[in-house]
Chains A and B, each alone.
Chain A
Amino acid sequence: MRSRRAAQLSQRQAALLLLVPFLATYALFLVYPFFRGVWISMHDWNLLAVAFNPDAKEFVGLRNYERVMWGEDIEWGLAAPLWQGLGLIGLALAAVLHRRSRVSRFNAIALGVVSLLLVVLPGFHPGEVGRWYDRRFWPTVGNTVLFVGLTVPGVTISALLLAAGMNRETRAMGILRTLFFLSQVLSVTVVTLIWQIMFSPRQGLIANITEVAGGTPINWLTDQQFAMAAIVIATVWWSLGIAMILFLAGLQDISSEIYEAAALDNARGPRAFWFITLPNLRRTITLVVVLQIILHFQVFGQSHLMTQGGPNDTTQVLVRYIYQTGFRDSELGRASAMAVFLFVIMGGFSVVQFIIGREKDE
């Protein structure tokens, strides 16, 4: 009886049936909250007021987005010559490289888009009588981009070097691999606690070493010049593990025969790393970089727990701003508008990852 009923299900039906639990969970916990978030972002929505009176919200269309991202009398011009100049150089480079077929079409377009954004975005500024409605939003976005810009290369390069160094089947290397991966399993609270102690100018390890070397300890977490560096260092230490494992997996995919052949051509050590390892790891590196970008745009705990966004907002990041706007200020509508903005950024990088993933398969 049972087998007959099973036989009645077509392969398509069986697939659907098996997919239902996932789809239902996905729809309930991801798709629905996402669209609800977008819907909330179009309302003047006080977290507590709406909890007590569902009618206390008011539809305001895109006003929250305007309130967060725009201002009065905003003009466009050469407001940030350095960034905009870099963008122009990038645009020219993309065109030249593409014409000479030095880079793939995709890379040329990616470079072009990033450069164009660099030219356009920093150009907006308030005119003489104008102001941003929210003067903290764009600097916060800038801090988040800076954090990502420092952390991703930091994690990628150090994980790559560690993986290359430990890609040997000895007991010592096994122990070292485990040790380096251990930090990854800690929660953000533990990581930030460890690093707050490390950075403490009074009892921290770093301060002690500085003093032994005859220097004056740095107030890492409250000094404008070092606060961002401090949370980047803690984050690199924390996120090394998974990147290292991915690189190790990539390294073990490279056939030893290639190295042997290279050795015959006198390519050993750093030369082998540069000419053999790196080109063969290209796909893994791209994967690690894109994953890290998406991950670190969502940085919250390190800034919230170690520096509280300070000093003077230098380590204020987007998710922390969303959190404060939503919970401290109860402005859920505005917080959701920022969250949608963050989604668009991360969505953009996900598309990049998707395209690169497809390129690989071809």
Chain B
Amino acid sequence: MRHVLLTAAAAATFASAAPAQEVTLARFFGACEDAGTDTTTSVGEACIIQSIINAASAEIDGVTVNTLPTDWGNYYDQIKAAFAGGTPPDVFVMHAHTIPEFASLGALADLSGDLEAAGIDTSDWAPLALDGVTYEGGIYGVPMDFHANLFHVNLDLMAEADLVNDDGSPILPTSPDELLAHAEQFKAATGKNYLAADFAQFPIGVRLVVSMLWQQGSNIFDAEGNAQVDTTETRAAINSIVQLFENDLADPRLNYADSQQAFLNGEAGILVNGTWVVDFYDSEAADPDVPLTNYYVADFPVLFEESATWAGSHGWAIPASLKQDDPETYEAALRVIAFIQEHNLDWARTGHMSVLQSVLESDDYNALPHRDEYAATATMAADLPPTEHFSAIQDILNRELQAIWLTGKSVDNALSDAQIDIQDVLDS
């Protein structure tokens, strides 16, 4: 018996010593312990992406993927520290808006010459997605999705307030005045808040305000690096939101978890949150114990002249050092990214929009729950001009906006402070 065990142990050692190329991978999206390898049934961002990664590790010959432990809130700090320490992960997920900062320093591998050989067809990418990962002519990432702000709607409450069309879709505002009128009508009929969102910590407020800036043809800063925060357009955008707080039609003090809970508990008509929760809310609405039952997803409404909403894009990148020093792992890393891209439809199940034309046009994609309800978002997607200081600028805006609605700082002071701080960051 002992002999058998020893032989088995030896065999196992040999098996594991087979020339499997280990690829380290870093990602945000949260943890999922038992994601398995079934990419078609997992629910939620964390479990869907981990099931795809697990499947890549199991199915790609000679490649094992080791997902590194990372934390959402400090993800980019960890990545920077890893780069500074000379041990970046072989593959890592990034927001398209962070690519300029890393690519400008030579941190990222230019993938443009190697994608085709790895089976990645860039001609299938949506043009906006290609733009997002392109820096000075090079391609520094493989895009995975578009994500955007949406209105998540409780149709039952909206019906109570007489805010539902005959076709069953919610009646949404088309101007700031109408927003206030709808919110008041809603409160009068239901006694509940019209709108909920994490206005207290997560930068949802920033995304709302910049969306409304773009809807007025304005922006936070221009392509030459001049801050233009202190404008009448910004005031109009901020006032659209503040009027809801002032009239007790929304609560600015809810954080992410609390605002989500308020929506699921049927305590608010509309939740402003991203594409990433559509499948989660859909599954919650199907649960008889959850008060939300009639769930609808709507495009972010156009309250001003132009159609625009905040959007971003996630993509996968590889360190330049890997391409230069370790071609074998680089090739394995590309195969992992190609595998993830092949499962773009699975990833789109989260609620994110696909970046692949072939997927966008497929019946399977269009048959995903609620997909037709926010189809227009794809054409409304917009982002800030490329900058190496995206996070710092977003933090400044988030702080000053929260100062307005959480601490009563005057809009004038908040905007003049934001103007100075953002200009300092752009100049640094």
Q: Write the residues of chain A forming the contact surface with B, with a CB cutoff of 8 angstroms.
A: 46-53, 131, 135, 200-203, 219, 221-224, 304-305, 307-314, 323-324, 327-331
The residue of chain A having its C-beta at the shortest distance from the C-beta of B76 within the complex is A328
Expressed in whole angstroms, the Cα–Cα distance for A52 and B101 within the complex equals 13
Knowing A328-B391, A328-B392 touch, does A48 contact B83 (C-beta < 8 A)?
yes
Contact A48 B201 (CB under 8 A): no
Contact A202 B258 (CB under 8 A): yes
Contact B258 A200 (CB under 8 A): yes
Contact A311 B420 (CB under 8 A): no
A180 to chain B, nearest CB (A): 30
B62 within 8 A of A: no
Across the A-B interface, give the 4 residue pairs with the lowest CB-CB distance, nearest first: A312-B403, A222-B200, A327-B77, A219-B253
Q: A residues within 8 A CB of B425?
A: 329
Contact B420 A328 (CB under 8 A): no
**B428 touches which of A202, A307, A331 (Cβ 8 Å):** A331
**B261 touches which of A202, A222, A309 (Cβ 8 Å):** A202
Contact A312 B407 (CB under 8 A): yes
- In the complex, which range does the number of interface residues on chain B fall in? 35 or more
B399 within 8 A of A: yes
Could you tell me which residues of chain B, from 378 to 428, have a CB within 8 Å of some CB in chain A? Answer: 389, 391-392, 395, 399-400, 402-403, 406-407, 409, 417, 420-421, 425, 428
Expressed in whole angstroms, the Cα–Cα distance for A305 and B201 within the complex equals 11
B102 within 8 A of A: yes
Knowing A48-B107, A223-B406, A224-B406 touch, does A308 contact B201 (C-beta < 8 A)?
yes
B84 within 8 A of A: yes
Expressed in whole angstroms, the Cα–Cα distance for A48 and B107 within the complex equals 8
The residue of chain B having its C-beta at the shortest distance from the C-beta of A222 within the complex is B200
- Give 1 or 0 for each of B230-254: 1 = CB within 8 Å of chain A CB: 0000000000000000000000111
B21 to chain A, nearest CB (A): 25
Contact A48 B77 (CB under 8 A): no
Knowing A312-B409, A328-B392 touch, does A49 contact B403 (C-beta < 8 A)?
no
B86 within 8 A of A: yes
**B201 touches which of A50, A310, A327 (Cβ 8 Å):** A310
The residue of chain A having its C-beta at the shortest distance from the C-beta of B417 within the complex is A135
Knowing A323-B77, A328-B392 touch, does A223 contact B420 (C-beta < 8 A)?
no
Q: A residues within 8 A CB of B254?
A: 219, 222
The residue of chain A having its C-beta at the shortest distance from the C-beta of B428 within the complex is A331
Q: A residues within 8 A CB of B389?
A: 329
Q: B residues within 8 A CB of A52?
A: 83, 105-107
**A222 touches which of B106, B406, B428 (Cβ 8 Å):** B406
Besides A223-B406, A310-B399, 7 new A-B residue pairs in contact (Cβ under 8 A), listed by A number: A52-B107, A201-B258, A222-B255, A223-B253, A308-B201, A312-B400, A323-B77
Q: B residues within 8 A CB of A328?
A: 76-77, 391-392, 395
CB-defined A-B contacts under 8 Å, sample of 17: A47-B84, A48-B102, A131-B420, A135-B417, A221-B255, A222-B201, A304-B73, A310-B399, A312-B399, A312-B402, A312-B406, A327-B74, A328-B76, A328-B77, A328-B395, A329-B389, A329-B391
Knowing A311-B407, A312-B406, A327-B80 touch, does A48 contact B253 (C-beta < 8 A)?
no
Expressed in whole angstroms, the Cα–Cα distance for A312 and B102 within the complex equals 29
Could you tell me which residues of chain B, from 351 to 385, have a CB within 8 Å of some CB in chain A? Answer: none
Q: A residues within 8 A CB of B417?
A: 135
Could you tell me which residues of chain B, from 163 to 214, have a CB within 8 Å of some CB in chain A? Answer: 200-201
Could you tell me which residues of chain B, from 91 to 145, have a CB within 8 Å of some CB in chain A? Answer: 101-102, 105-107
Q: B residues within 8 A CB of A313?
A: 399, 403
Knowing A48-B107, A323-B77 touch, does A311 contact B83 (C-beta < 8 A)?
no
The residue of chain A having its C-beta at the shortest distance from the C-beta of B389 within the complex is A329
Q: A residues within 8 A CB of B392?
A: 328-329
Q: Among the interface residues A53, A224, A304, A323, which one has the most CB atoms of the partner chain B within 10 A?
A: A224
Expressed in whole angstroms, the Cα–Cα distance for A304 and B421 within the complex equals 21
B81 within 8 A of A: yes
Expressed in whole angstroms, the Cα–Cα distance for A50 and B80 within the complex equals 12
Contact A51 B86 (CB under 8 A): yes
B411 to chain A, nearest CB (A): 13
A28 to chain B, nearest CB (A): 17
Contact B407 A314 (CB under 8 A): yes
Expressed in whole angstroms, the Cα–Cα distance for A147 and B172 within the complex equals 45
Expressed in whole angstroms, the Cα–Cα distance for A330 and B406 within the complex equals 29
The residue of chain A having its C-beta at the shortest distance from the C-beta of B106 within the complex is A52
Q: A residues within 8 A CB of B86?
A: 51
Contact A224 B407 (CB under 8 A): yes
